[in-house]
Amino acid sequence: MKVLVVGAGTMGSGIAQVSAMSGYDTVVVDVSKEFLDRGRERIMDSLQRLSKRGVDPSTVLSKLTFSTEMKDGSGAEVAIEVVPEKLEIKLDVFKRMESILSSGSLLATNTSSIPISEIASGIERKQMLVGLHFFNPPPLMMLVEVIPSKFTESDAMERALKFVKSLGKVPVRLAYEVPGFVSNRVFMRILQEACREVEAGEASVEEVDSSARAIGLPMGIFELADYTGIDVIVDIWNILKQRGMVDVPCSMYSKKVSTGELGVKSGRGFYSYPAPGKFVKPKLNSQPKVPPARLLSLAVNEAAWLISNGVVRSSDIDTVMKLGFNFPKGLVEMAREIGLREIENQLLQLSSKYKAYSPVSNFTSILS
Ligand code: CAA
């Protein structure tokens, strides 16, 4: 089977690599040779690391073609768009994809913030479009969220789920689309609470990150912001805000973007890195200071909202956080261990000041 991936950035090249590693003939299309070369380098670097785990780089590379011509993707049964988060750019890509693909091809977008239904509204074969939301770095992260738009045919959803499984990934299917899906709604809440703590003078950036690592998260919260790209975070946050998610005042992330400190990609964010794009784990010299119940409070409240609105089950939230963010345990699982009442108390303490902290009604029974 042939797979077309449009966009050779961090996520696009990673998804193409996963596709090629699964044996699919994979065509990567981008607008310039320079972007394609950078994508190829990223893939080679990743394959080199994976060679220790038995992956043969040359076999994978033989499955990949890089091109600036969309027509080289013709004959693909699955086409995934992984271009910048601008609706007009995405619509242009889908228009060009539709012109070369057969009407039965599955169309997918890896958007992390633009509603799938908004993209689908602007394309011809809206019933064939699904959201396939991968996580960074795609070769290592096991999760893919599978999101229907209001137009998606059930057959397209079934094919998407089958495709994700064929990549060796674990799909989590949302019953219906909500802005930010499951992952980014929860992720934004973690980032918002971390920001609030620092701006309220409760802890420093390093103390927050030490607290996150102390409960077993693979990265500190600000470290993960750097790793993801602070500009990406600000974009997602703005889109969620515009679509009605209750905000938490915080200026740290947008200030970083305005000074060009975008995280790993620019060589500097909350921490400094040896070169743009080169991630080296920051050394933390501070002790954990934030109680786990407070650190996770807003995220757990978001989980309760997602469950009470029938978007996913609590076990799906656990899967999302374990396989999409490498949490040591599921978020709901961790919340139960920390104590739901204790988390609710943290929320109540902050709710008079910030609306987002008002516990979802029946908070403890939803999560029990
Ligand atoms: N390809 C292949 N191997 C890689 C790799 C890549 N891209 N990146 C790291 N590795 C390997 C390293 O080579 C190393 O291998 P060895 O153990 O064999 O030496 C191993 O992974 C561990 O790497 P590091 O020692 O550099 O660092 P680490 O232990 O912190 O692991 C990590 C790195 C796997 C990324 C881990 O920190 C982690 O899971 N972090 C959380 C990532 C996360 O939350 N991602 C989701 C972001 S949100 C998102 O993507 C969605 C959105 O819409 C914004």
- CA pair distance 127, 150, nearest whole angstrom: 9
Q: Sheet containing 64-67: which strands, arranged edge to edge?
A: 64-67, 25-29, 2-6, 78-81, 106-109, 129-133, 143-148, 170-173
What is the CA(262)–ligand 1 centre distance, in A?
Answer: 18
pLDDT of residue 148: 98
Task: Write the residue with the smallest CA distance to atom 19 of ligand 1.
Answer: 49
In this structure, the residues whose C-beta lies within 6 A of any atom of ligand 1 are 46, 49-50, 52, 112, 135-137, 139-141, 183-184, 187, 218-219, 224, 228, 232, 281, 324-326
What is the CA(116)–ligand 1 centre distance, in A?
Answer: 27
Tens of pLDDT, residues 277-312: 999 999 999 999 999 999 999 999 999 999 999 999
Nearest atom in ligand 1 to 139's CA = 1
Residue ranges of the chain assigned to CATH 1.10.1040.50: 183-367
Task: Write the residue with the smallest CA distance to atom 35 of ligand 1.
Answer: 137
Q: What angle do CA 222, 225, 227 make, to 5 degrees?
A: 115
Active-site residue numbers?
112, 133, 145, 184
Residue ranges of the chain assigned to CATH 3.40.50.720: 2-173
Q: What one-character-per-residue DSSP string does 166-188 give?
A: HTT-EEEE-SS--TTTTHHHHHH
- CA pair distance 269, 106, nearest whole angstrom: 37
What is the CA(132)–ligand 1 centre distance, in A?
Answer: 20
What is the CA(135)–ligand 1 centre distance, in A?
Answer: 10
Q: Mutate which of 51, 109, 132, 140 to test ligand 1's pocket (most atoms within 8 Å of Cβ)?
A: 140
Question: What predicted TM-score, i.e. pTM, was given to this entire model?
Answer: 0.95
Name the architecture of domain 2-173: 3-Layer(aba) Sandwich (3.40)
What is the CA(139)–ligand 1 centre distance, in A?
Answer: 9
Task: Write the residue with the smallest CA distance to atom 37 of ligand 1.
Answer: 218
What is the CA(82)–ligand 1 centre distance, in A?
Answer: 20
pLDDT of residue 113: 86
What would the two tokens of residue 38 be?
């950078």
Cβ atoms < 10 Å from Cβ of 272: 11
The domain defined by 183-367 carries CATH number 1.10.1040.50: yes
Nearest atom in ligand 1 to 232's CA = 54
pLDDT in tens for each of the 368 residues of the chain? 999 999 999 999 999 999 999 999 999 999 999 999 999 999 999 999 999 999 999 999 999 999 999 999 999 999 999 999 899 999 999 999 999 999 999 999 999 989 999 999 999 999 999 999 999 999 999 999 999 999 999 999 999 999 999 999 999 999 999 999 999 999 999 999 999 999 999 999 999 999 999 999 999 999 999 999 999 999 999 999 999 999 999 999 999 999 999 999 999 999 999 999 999 999 999 999 999 999 999 999 999 999 999 999 999 999 999 999 999 999 999 999 999 999 999 999 999 999 999 999 999 999 99
Task: Write the residue with the smallest CA distance to atom 43 of ligand 1.
Answer: 325
> Quick one: which of 106, 171, 175 has its CA closest to 134?
171
Task: Write the residue with the smallest CA distance to atom 10 of ligand 1.
Answer: 49
Nearest atom in ligand 1 to 279's CA = 26
DSSP state of 137: S
Task: Write the residue with the smallest CA distance to atom 36 of ligand 1.
Answer: 218
